[in-house]
Structure 1
Amino acid sequence: MAATEQRKATWKQIGPGIVVAATGVGAGDLVATLIAGNLFGYTLLWATIVGCIVKISLAEATGRWHLATGRTIFDGWTSLGRWTWAYFGIYVVIWGFVYGASAMSASALPLAALFPQVPFNAWAILAGLSGLAIVWFNRYAVFEKIMMVFIGVMFVIVVGLAVYVAPNIGEALAGLVPLLPAGSLFYTLGLIGGVGGTITMAAYGYWVNAKGWRDSGWMRMMRVDNRVAYITTGIFVIAMLIVGAELLYNSGIALSSGDQGLLDLGDVLRERFGGFVATLFLVGFFCAAYSSIIGVWHGVSLLFADFVDHVRGRTGTDPAATEKSLPFRAYMLWLTFPPMLLLLLGRPVQLIIAYGVLGSFFMPFLAFTLMWLLNSSRTPAEWRNGWISNTGLAIAGGLFLVLCGYELYGVVTGG
């Protein structure tokens, strides 16, 4: 079959998009959406939809590069200069150290609430070790099925909860009109930027290849996969905003910042609807947090392994071989064991600051380098960006630059 012949898009093939979206929507994104609903009701509903469109543009561009060129995103970055190696190498080491502790902590919160007899740190370490085992001993096909189970449970519980609290349809429709209430600017930017978007968006192309999609004949399937994934994610995030709007808006309840805010919601649900509903929500909370663990352990390790291959002068490694390679497994170990020190000793403030600043730089780096690559001769002419893709990537890059500036401002001012 010729590479340019389009394969038929089928529902049974959908997978990599769900994986990247589920990985990107972690406990922190749920808290941000919940607090937005808590503070502004349905007013910022439109921002979650814009966020989905932005992420569809980013993920589609990543997948299109892999399929159109037969090269990985790291091949593309390398063609732009070895400065990309320096940035990525520093970033991925610091990010992985702190993210590992954050992800394990987020997964431990609902488990500790459900089973308080077991120490919190024990749950966190168990979450990290079990995530390591799942990725270490399984190839992509099994990993994808496991991720599908977690996002399925997460979706049913949170969307079901949104229906259960009886949303105000009129106010929800009014929330589709773009408005910025006083004090809502950075909540709005956070909603747009946080709908399933992390470094794992750069891993989408690797998951596409691991699925067996290797050439431009899979382009139609990739686009269907990507859109279904982010529409599903959008529904999920809208459901979380509905929960915040209906249960907490004008109630005077102040949620804790960080992942602890989801436990606060669990307490509210217990008071309003009883222990069964609260327990179901904690299960959904765990699925959201734990799917991010196994997604990052797999996806970012693929990125790291490709980075090491390029440093060694090796390219074109088969994804199936990469999953069992030494660099892939070494990065999984880096995500798992050193961060346990942060769980036991507390998280150093300087490292958290460095993580926040570097993290805010990655998404504009991804958006603008994709624009560069997909508008150049590096990409076959028929698959280069059109005005729609360029607009989406420009909006994404500009948005994340603003968020980056806000992060830097917070570091300088101590805010």
Structure 2
Amino acid sequence: MNDVTKQQAEAPPADLSAPPRHGRWKLIGPGIVAAATGVGAGDLVATLIAGSRFGYALLWAAVIGCIVKIALAEGSARYHLATGSTMLEGWRSLGKWTSWYFGIYIMIWGFVYGATAMSATALPLAALFPAVPLWLWAMLCGSICAVFVALNRYEMFENVMKFFIGLMFVIVVGVALMVAPNIGNALTGLVPSIPEGSVVYTLGLIGGVGGTITMASYGYWVNAKGWRTPAWMGVMRLDNRVSYAITGIFVVAMLIIGAEMLYTAQITLSTGDRGLLDLDEVLRERFGPVVSTIFLIGFFATAISSILGVWHGVSLLFADFVHILRGGTGRGQNLEKTNAFRFYLFWLTIPPMALLWFGRPFTLVIVYGALGAFFMPFLALTLIWLLNSSRVPKEWRSGWVSNGLLGVAALLFIVLCINEVIGLVSGG
């Protein structure tokens, strides 16, 4: 009996043949996880800077960016549901070159991102509790998140992510309302325009906010929720659209804050995650210490949810990658309980702590940037390839809308990739 109980406890989530007819809104979850993961502290700073430099002029770009990301995430999850396969299996079917690229990329990306994410999460904590050094906060955040992900199944993970995104939503939108946005000016920002010197910011706003490698994790979170057949396609699409509606609200709120508080006063933010600390000082001067402290809590919620999402979602990708290399398939596998999943949690957490002490080696940063620049074009182009092939049942292949949006995404990310590589080569 004990063996049976153990097997039941370790079994993957049950396949649910079809969703209920009513109450589908209550099922939403994987998209919330994707939204909380995809909007990190760096994304908020990028949006703030766009607002501080160009006011509301690039609001349209933020909206287009969310639509593009809806197509990418939907394509990833649709492949999972329509084929019963995973994205890693799909990439593997395109040739061994995909495994070489992905394997090298995920190892370098995880090492550098781990240090970056832990540092970002430590910034608001160090501001709130300066007696504890930044490096110690960073190590504590990474370690606690790794232990939590290792010890909890998807359901608990999703609930915690919902809590953090709720906290983020209330605080960020609340601050945006406090700065009294000019609705008339905001509406003019929905008309496409590219102010002088804003091309790179425009492309970055469309392509950069709302997730990178974690977009490929969405299909795995859909499976972890128990959605494993085409019958769940409608629920997945609702879930995905809600997630990027939330992302869009975040982006618009941060753009409003940048336009109203920084653009009009000509205040310049620091680049990187520290720009949010600059905003905290502006909020303290204008609204007082209570609002400043609440904003730092929102900053922390934004950063910690990205750590949790990456620690869980990208570890699932790595676990599936290893499983497929060994000749298995991702179908029906409880990837959260594999040694590969645990190893990547370790890889994201412990080795990057060295970078907290010594900084990021220049060569590693160059390789990290170059490989990262190629990932989103890789994702968009391979989705077009896979979703128009015989691997996908005919009724679930991409139509002209999906192909059009994925094509726009591919073109956009290729341009961003070229710009990134030029910047790396020139040292800019």
Q: Which band: TM-score by shorter chain? A: over 0.9
Of the candidates 29, 36, 48, which is equivalent to residue 22 of structure 1? 36
The one-letter code sitting in structure 2 at the alignment partner of 1:372 is: W
Residue 360 (structure 1) shift: 1.1
Separation in structure 2 between the aligned mates of residue 7 and residue 61 of structure 1, nearest angstrom: 24
Of the candidates 215, 231, 256, which is equivalent to residue 217 of structure 1? 231
Separation in structure 2 between the aligned mates of residue 112 and residue 350 of structure 1, nearest angstrom: 29
Residue 4 (structure 1) shift: 8.2
CA deviation map 1:165-209 (0-9, x unaligned): 100000000000000000000101111112212100000000000
Of the candidates 189, 198, 201, which is equivalent to residue 215 of structure 2? 201
The equivalent residue for 1:372 is 385
The equivalent residue for 1:148 is 162
Separation in structure 2 between the aligned mates of residue 361 and residue 323 of structure 1, nearest angstrom: 27
The equivalent residue for 1:133 is 147
Tell me, yes or no, if structure 1 residue 184 matches structure 2 residue 198: yes
The equivalent residue for 2:360 is 347
Q: Secondary structure at the match of 2:291?
A: helix
Separation in structure 2 between the aligned mates of residue 184 and residue 164 of structure 1, nearest angstrom: 27
Residue 11 (structure 1) shift: 1.1
The equivalent residue for 2:247 is 233
Tell me, yes or no, if structure 1 residue 269 matches structure 2 residue 283: yes
Contact kept in structure 1, 2:38 and 2:210, CA below 8 Å: yes
CA deviation map 1:207-241 (0-9, x unaligned): 00000000000000000000001001101110010
CA deviation map 1:47-89 (0-9, x unaligned): 1100000000000001100000010011111110111100000
Tell me, yes or no, if structure 1 residue 304 matches structure 2 residue 321: no
The one-letter code sitting in structure 2 at the alignment partner of 1:157 is: I
Residue pairs, 1:5-404, within 5 angstroms: 10-319=24-333, 321-404=334-417
Contact kept in structure 2, 1:9 and 1:224, CA below 8 Å: no
Separation in structure 2 between the aligned mates of residue 337 and residue 4 of structure 1, nearest angstrom: 41
Residue 364 (structure 1) shift: 0.8
The equivalent residue for 1:413 is 426
Residue 316 (structure 1) shift: 3.5
- The percent identity for this pair of structures is 66
The one-letter code sitting in structure 1 at the alignment partner of 2:240 is: N
Residue 6 (structure 1) shift: 8.4
| CA gap 1:264/1:3 in 2 versus in 1, 3 angstroms | same
Contact kept in structure 1, 2:125 and 2:137, CA below 8 Å: yes
Separation in structure 1 between the aligned mates of residue 304 and residue 16 of structure 2, nearest angstrom: 40
Residue 250 (structure 1) shift: 3.3
CA deviation map 1:7-45 (0-9, x unaligned): 656111000011112101101100000000000000000
Separation in structure 2 between the aligned mates of residue 8 and residue 82 of structure 1, nearest angstrom: 44
Contact kept in structure 2, 1:6 and 1:217, CA below 8 Å: no
The one-letter code sitting in structure 2 at the alignment partner of 1:409 is: I
Residue 5 (structure 1) shift: 8.6
Contact kept in structure 1, 2:16 and 2:227, CA below 8 Å: no
CA deviation map 1:114-166 (0-9, x unaligned): 11110000000011001101101100000000000000000110001101110
Give structure 1 stretches of 5+ with no counterpart. Answer: none
Separation in structure 2 between the aligned mates of residue 228 and residue 209 of structure 1, nearest angstrom: 18
Separation in structure 1 between the aligned mates of residue 155 and residue 62 of structure 2, nearest angstrom: 30
The one-letter code sitting in structure 1 at the alignment partner of 2:413 is: F
The one-letter code sitting in structure 2 at the alignment partner of 1:369 is: T
Contact kept in structure 1, 2:118 and 2:307, CA below 8 Å: yes
Contact kept in structure 1, 2:164 and 2:305, CA below 8 Å: yes
Q: Secondary structure at the match of 1:259?
A: coil
Separation in structure 2 between the aligned mates of residue 131 and residue 288 of structure 1, nearest angstrom: 14
Contact kept in structure 2, 1:132 and 1:332, CA below 8 Å: yes
Separation in structure 2 between the aligned mates of residue 6 and residue 407 of structure 1, nearest angstrom: 46
Q: Secondary structure at the match of 2:337?
A: coil
CA deviation map 1:360-396 (0-9, x unaligned): 1101101110100000111000000000000110111
Give the root-mean-square deviation of aligned CA atoms. Answer: 1.4
Give structure 2 stretches of 5+ with no counterpart. Answer: 1-14
